[in-house]
Each structure stands twice: as structure tokens, then as C-alpha cells.
Structure 1
Amino acid sequence: MTTRTGFGLFLTARVVSWAGSTVTAVALPVLLYQRTGSASLSGLLTALEALPYLVLGLPAGALADRWDRRRTLTWCSWSSAALIAAIPAAAALGLLSTVQLMLTGLAVSAVFVFFDAAAFGALATLVGHDGLARATGRMMSASTLIGLIGPSAAGLLVATLAPPTAITLDALSYAAAALLLSRLPLTPIAHVKARSPVRGTLADIAEGLQYIRRHPLIRPLTLLGIGNSFTEGAVVGLIVVTAVRTFGMDPDDGRIGLFWAAAALGALAAATALPRLQKRAPLGWITLGGLAANAAFLACWAASPGLVTGLASLACWQSANALVSLNGIVIRQQLTPGPLQGRINTTARMIAWGGQPLGAAASGLLADAVGVRTALLTAALGALLSLSAGLTTPLRRRAVEVGTSGSALGSEAGKAA
């Protein structure tokens, strides 16, 4: 099997899984809000979905660099399929509970941590270091396109079918992805040869942390992501709540999917603009400017008087938020040695996403206590704090010494987009 065929299988599996997951991304919070009507529980669900990366990111990254990546990807997909399928099964038996919905979000996210760690290494093996930027660009384009179309379709499905029935499609997508991933050309022998000698898990974790700590670009980009993810937790955790309480929709209104579609449109704009920005602007300024725009557009989202302005503000906010995240992710992948891909990327993502569960939980509690708009405006402080911290780092300078990989990145990503 050729490298191109291997990446094609990998990309197809991810596309199938992403398409199914857009249904659950809409249906699960809608189902929870239908049952509880609680902004606090809506925020808690988002917090629980983000929590596993904080707890498991370090060991998952180290272990994924030592395990058979094809087997890890396959079994993670089968496990997710079983967990998701349990929701419609319980609903059909009249046993579905709020606790199960919460625990499912937590468990699927925990499995994803190991999947994600193995996926970083698998992608690097399938396309080689020089092909990473182009492959990542293709995956971003596919992901954002699905994110643009999928939520609107998911909203209609949730409005037409019962949410548990719609969620069945996600379980089927995970099963289909598992079958595709089981055929990846990642044999155990090739996998072992491509990796450094096996050391203790703690030593592997320490190596990943040290790499991030010492890298002059990866370190600040990772730390500034905390404030960025804080706002993401708040916005995502309150999308259904905002739709109901601010825009007067019913919890099962099919138009709720438009909010996820608007966010996907913003992410697509960021992915398209990033390669050109990396050619023309200092890398640090992209992140700092994105943080400033994040806070500004979040204030617009909180103050939006109507659906049209709300969708536009949400799309602009997501564009700024995604720009900060993607700038860090793509640069980190390009600068990380192949044998360290799993632990470096999961460790950095664990740190950068650290604000997400806190933002989701805090904003949910604030929304119930003082209102949705105030909760969202408060969340904007996360981006402003990261911006303030970033202005004290070398990222504020026009020139940052990061080697030649950064300049090559813009060229390759531009071709991909």
C-alpha cells in the first residue's frame, strides 16, 4: 500500500467519524437541556468533555509513542462506537438518565485522548515530516467543511428525529472508521523501527515536558492557549443556552444547528487565512492579534440583539479563536521530531486546553446566577489575560528566532489550503 493510499484511508476514516460526531455535538447538549433546562449542567457537560485531556494527556502521549498505533486507533474507534450506541439503547429501554449523558461525554473524550495521541504519530509516519503541513491542511479543510455543513443537517435531524435516534448515526460512523483504520499500513515492525528505544513512561513524559519548556516558540504559544481555550469552553458550553435564553428558540429548534455552522465557517476562514498570514506577519503577532480579536468578538456575541448579528459575531469569534489554536498546532507539528509527535502534541494540547473545562463550568454557573450575557462577557477576560501575558514575551517582537521551519510552513500550508 502506498503512502498516498495510507493517508487516503486515514483521511477517509476521520471524515466519516467527524461527520457522525457533528450529530452528537448538537444532539447531546440539546438532549441534556431538554431533560434539565440547566445552564450549569450544560456547562458541566462541556467541562467533563474537556477534562480527560488535562488528566490523561501526559500518559496518553507517552504510551501512544510506544504502542502499535494502528491497533490503538482501531480499538479507540470501536470503544467510542459502543459508548455512543449505549445512549439510544438506554433510551429505547426507558433507562436513559442525565448521569449517563454526562458519563458518556466524559468517557468518549477520555478515549479520544489516546486516539488523538496515536493519530499524531500515525499521520507523521504515513506522510513523512515534509508532508505534514500539506496533510494537516487537507485535514483542516475537510474538518471545517464538515463543520460547516454538518451542524445544520444535524439540527434538522434532531428536530425531525428524537435526539437519541440521531445519535445512532455517530455510533455507526465510529464503527465504519474503525474498519478503515484497521487497514492502515502501520505494521508493528515498521512502527517499532520508527521509534526511539523504549524507556519508562515517566521518562517519556519528562522528555515531552522538557521539550516544550525549552522551545522558544512552542512554550509561549502553548501557555497563551489557556486563556483562548477558557473562552472556547464558555461559548461552546452555552450555545444551546444562548439560543434558548437570548434568541428565544425552543431547545429542539432545528435552527440551533446554525450556530455550530457559523462557528465552522469562522474556523474555515481561519484555516484559509493562516498560511498567508504566516508568510506576511510575525508568528507571534498572529497569536496576539487573534487573542485581541477573540475578546472583542466575544463581547459582540454577548451583546448581539438578533439572530443574524449573533451568527455573524459567533463566526468572527470562532475565526479569532481558531486562528490562535491553529497557529500553535501547525507550528508545533512542524517543529516536533517524529518520535516525539505523540507526547509533545498531547502534552501541549493538554496545557493549552487547560482553560476549557474551567471556562465551561464557570460560565454555566454564572449564566444561571447573573445571566448569559454577563457570563460571556466575563469569559472574555480569559483572552485578555493571555494577551496581557503574551505582550511580556518575545512574541511581541517582529522577529523571533525559530529556525527555518516556520517560513517553510507557510508555503506548504498555503498549497494545502
Structure 2
Amino acid sequence: MSRRSESIAARASLWASKGFVRYYVFNLLSYIGSGISVVALPFYIYEQTSSPIFTSLVAASGSLPYLLFGLLAGVLADRGSRKRIMIGCVLFNAASLASVPVAAWLTGQASPWHLISVSFLAGVAFVGFDSASHGALLQLVGRRNLVAANSLLISSDTVIRIATPLFAGVMIATFGAEWAVAVTAVCYFLSAFMIGSIRQSFQPERPRSEAIPEGRLRKLGTDIREGLRFIWAEPRIRSLTLLGFGNSFVGGAVAGLLVVFAASELGIADEAPQFGLLLTAGSVGALLASLSLPSLRDRLRPGRITIAGLAVSGASLFGFTVSGALPTAAVFYLLWSVGSTLIIMNGITWRQQLTPDHLQGRVHAGGRMIAYGGSPFGALLGGLAAASFGAQPTFTLLSALMLLLFAIALRTPLRRDEAFDDNDSSQEPAGRKP
């Protein structure tokens, strides 16, 4: 059977699994909530402060928890119940977001520091959830179907993000940003119930000795070192992780300064629907990337996809910087999103395929902690640079950094990698028939 035929069969088999269908619906609810909050929180704080630094702090505080708690979350995901962790984190996230409209109702508006705190708490919830969800997906669909499953999930995410920024912009203009956040909280509450309805196990059978005894953590340091040792020993994962740090540094700065750039260079910050249109362009780019990844993986080695993504991101970010008008800026922002999404999606999927099941949580959390760890630094330093030199010079430096990462990637093992063998049945999770 050809790789293309296998890809089609993999996509068809996903819909035959009731567990995956419910997992998919749960993700749709989460995507709607996330798509609204990514507009509402930075817009709300910029509306109050008109400050690049405060606006960047929202992005920085949301990504900082992975740097602080990623390794611990990975151990918990590998040793504890993935399903309980996911449900608990989603409910915690919903409660944190719900505090924004409650504060606005009681006091008139949520303060900037309240919004920054909510962004941090939502980031904490995401760390725990993300560490558990990647191993859970592996158990639901199998290693061979990961590319198809991740492509479907991320393409659905991006379809929703095409519509939600415009919807969020209209909600903000009509009712206020705090009530847009309220809708986000409701979406997360509903998604928690959907996770609980999945009957299939989220983890393989394992010896009782591998579980975390109630009330205490055992061998924590050993467990953490085991995950980090695998990341460093596997040259492709090591390269993806280190390049990912630079990519997330730039991505954090772009996310933290997008409202500021729109205000100072494009003149659209006073119109929430127009800002939503810019984000929608980014979502279209992410959709194109997610839909194209399975075909690209059929034709190209995974390492080459990451290298190409870095080149596209650097060139298009420079074009976005000098665009000067919304239509041109939207096109270049779309292209930047294509490159950035390919880097992230390809890296996540390849890491899942290369990692044994018993290390999924630790390797994913450890690798993402390092790779995603660049985001808060990028958001914070980008905000300081924009406050000192302006948004456009800062974006010029960011595009130059992306092109430097592309040059570095050409000298890593990614350029000469051997593709993962999807037909290697030895890589299947324990307890799953090939």
C-alpha cells in the first residue's frame, strides 16, 4: 500500500473510533474558547493601558508556566491518570477565566494585573493538560495515525480560529471584552464534561510500581532526568527543541506586540473587528499548513519541512514589517503563520513518533518546556524593545532572527535526517494491535 493510500485509510479509521470522535468534539469546544480569548485578553488590557509592556505581559505570563512547571507536569502525566489531569486542568482554566466577567460585574472592570494573573493561571492549566493530552492521543489513535489525527485536530482548530476572531471582535465592540471572556469560560466547562464521557483508556497498562503513590512523588529527579536524557540523546529531537526555542521566542514577541503593531503601524487598533480580521488571516495560514502537512510528510523528510518553515517564517515576517497597510500585512501575516505552524506541527508529531509511550509525557513536556520557553522571553523583551525603539524596528530584528535560525538549521541533523518509518509495528503502543 502506498503512503498516500495509508494516509487516506488512517483518516477514515479515525472516524470509526467513538473515543476519538468525542476527543475531537471536546477539542472543538476548547478551540472556540481559545480563539475568543486570544483576542479578548490582549485587547482588553491594551484598551485600559495603551501600553506595549502591559500588553506583552499578557502573552509572557501565559507562556511562562511551561518554563516553570513543564518537567513536573511531564512526570505527572506519565505516572498519573491522564484523563483526570486533563479534566482537572480544563475546569481550573474555566474557573480562572470566569473570574474576569465576575470582577467586571462587581467592580466595573477587571484590572490589568487581574488579566495578567488570569493569563498566567490559564497557562498553568495548559501545561498540565498539554503534557497529558499527547500521550492520550497516542493511545486513542495509535502511532501510525498520529499525522492524520494531528492534522485533523489542528486544521479544525484553525478553521474555528478563522471565524472566532471576527466573532470576538464583534462581541467586544457590542458587549465588552469581559463578556467575550465569559463565553470562553463556558466553552471550557462544557469541554471538561466531554473528556469525562470518553470510555477508552488514555494510557497503556503498566506495573503498579510505576504509578505515583497517593500523597507523595517518588523518584521525581530520576524521572525528570530520564526524559531530558532522551531529548538530548536523540539528535533530531534535540535539534527540533533548540530551534523551537528560537521560533517560540519570535512567536512570543509577535503575539505580544500584534495589537501594538496594529495601532502604531496599521492604524486599526481602535476597531476590534479589523484586528480580528488580521488574526483571521493568521488562522487561514495555520489552516493551510495543517492541511498540507500530511501531503508534505508523504513527499519530504520531516527535517526538511522544519527547515523550509523557518525560511518562510523569516521572509514573510520581514514583509509583514514593511507592509504598511492592512491588506498587504494580512497576506504576509498569513504566510508567516504557514511557516510557523509547519514548524510547530511537524515538530510535535515527529517527537510523538520518535518517543516511547512510557516517556511521552516527560519528553513532550521537557521538549516543549525548552522550545516553548522562548515565548515569555520573546514577549517580554519584545515589549521592552517596542517601548524603547518602536514596533517596526523590533519586528525587523525578529525577522532577522528567524532567518538566522534557518541558517543554523541547515547545519543540524535535520538536513540529513531519515524519516520515521510509519510501518514499524514495533513502535505501536503496548496493548494495541497493528
| TM, length-normalised to structure 2 | 0.88
Q: Is the 8 A contact 1:3 1:126 kept in 2?
A: no
1:104 paired to 2:118? yes
Alignment of 1:115 onto 2:132: no
Q: Percent identity?
A: 38
Deviates more, 1:9-18 or 1:382-391: 382-391
Contact 2:36 2:164 in 1 (8 A): yes
State the alpha-carbon separation in 1 of the partners of residues 125 and 301 from structure 2. 36
Letter in 2 for 1:350: M
Q: Where does 1:345-364 land on structure 2 (aligned, <5 Å)?
A: 345-364=364-383
Q: Does 1:374 align with 2:369?
A: no
SS at match of 1:304: coil
Q: Indicate which of 236, 241, 264 corresponds to 1:217.
A: 236
Contact 2:351–2:364 under 8 Å retained in 1 = yes
Show CA shifts across 1:66-100 (max 9, x none): 11122111111111111000000001111621110
Per-residue Cα deviation, 1:102-160 (whole angstroms, up to 9, x for no partner): 00000110111001111112112222233322222221121111112211211111111
Give the Cα separation in 2 of the matches to 1:261 and 1:200: 46
Matches within 5 A, 1:291-330: 291-330=310-349
Aligned counterpart for 1:200 among listed residues 202, 219, 231 = 219
Aligned counterparts of 2:337 and 2:21: Cα–Cα separation in 1: 28
Question: What count of residue pairs does the alignment treat as equivalent?
Answer: 404
Please say if 1:132 is aligned against 2:146: yes
Q: 1:218 to 1:194 in 2, by over 3 A?
A: farther
SS in 2 for 1:246: helix
Indicate conservation of the 8 Å contact 1:148/1:261, yes or no: yes
Equivalent of residue 176 in structure 1, options 190, 209, 212: 190
Q: Secondary structure at the match of 2:127?
A: helix
Q: How far has the Cα of 1:407 moved from its partner?
A: 10
Deviates more, 1:104-113 or 1:225-234: 225-234
Instruction: List alignment gaps of at least 5 residues for structure 1.
Output: 409-417
1:401 corresponds to which residue? 418
What SS does the corresponding residue of 1:238 show, helix, strand or coil? helix
The 1:241–1:132 alpha-carbon spacing in structure 2 relative to 1, beyond 3 Å, is same
Residue 274 of structure 1 corresponds to 293
**Compared CA separation, residues 353 and 406, structure 1 to 2 (3 A):** farther
Moved beyond 3 Å, runs of 4+: 190-196, 405-408
Alignment-mate amino acid for residue 369 of structure 1: S
Q: Within 1, Cα distance between the matches of 2:364 and 2:183?
A: 30
- Asked if 1 retains the 8 angstrom alpha-carbon contact of 2:32 and 2:160, the reply is yes
Question: How far apart are 1:191 and its partner, in Å?
Answer: 5.5
Instruction: Answer with 202-211 or 28-37: which moved more.
Output: 202-211
Residues 70, 186 of structure 1: 8 Å contact kept: no
The answer to whether the 8 Å contact 1:208/1:347 transfers is yes
Contact 2:301/2:419, CA 8 A, preserved across alignment: no
SS of 1:65 mapped into structure 2 = helix
Task: Kindly state the Cα deviation for residue 354 of structure 1 after the two structures are TM-superposed.
Answer: 2.1
Q: 1:35 to 1:407 in 2, by over 3 A?
A: farther
Bigger Cα displacement from structure 2, 359-368 vs 309-318: 359-368
CA–CA separation in structure 1 for the residues paired with 2:21 and 2:174: 34
1:196 deviation in Å? 7.9
1:157 maps to which of 156, 168, 171: 171
TM-score, with length taken from structure 1: 0.91
- CA separation of 1:87 and 1:57: change in aligned 2, threshold 3 A: same
- Other structure's SS at 2:182 match: helix
Where does residue 25 of structure 2 map in the other structure?
12
Residue 285 of structure 1 is matched in structure 2 by 304
What do you get for the CA RMSD once the two structures are aligned?
2.1
SS in 1 for 2:210: coil
Match of 2:78 in 1: 65
Q: 1:24-73 CA deviation, whole Å, 9 max, x = no partner?
A: 11011000001100011111211111111111111101111111122111
Partner AA of 1:133 in structure 2: V
Amino acid at match of 1:5: K
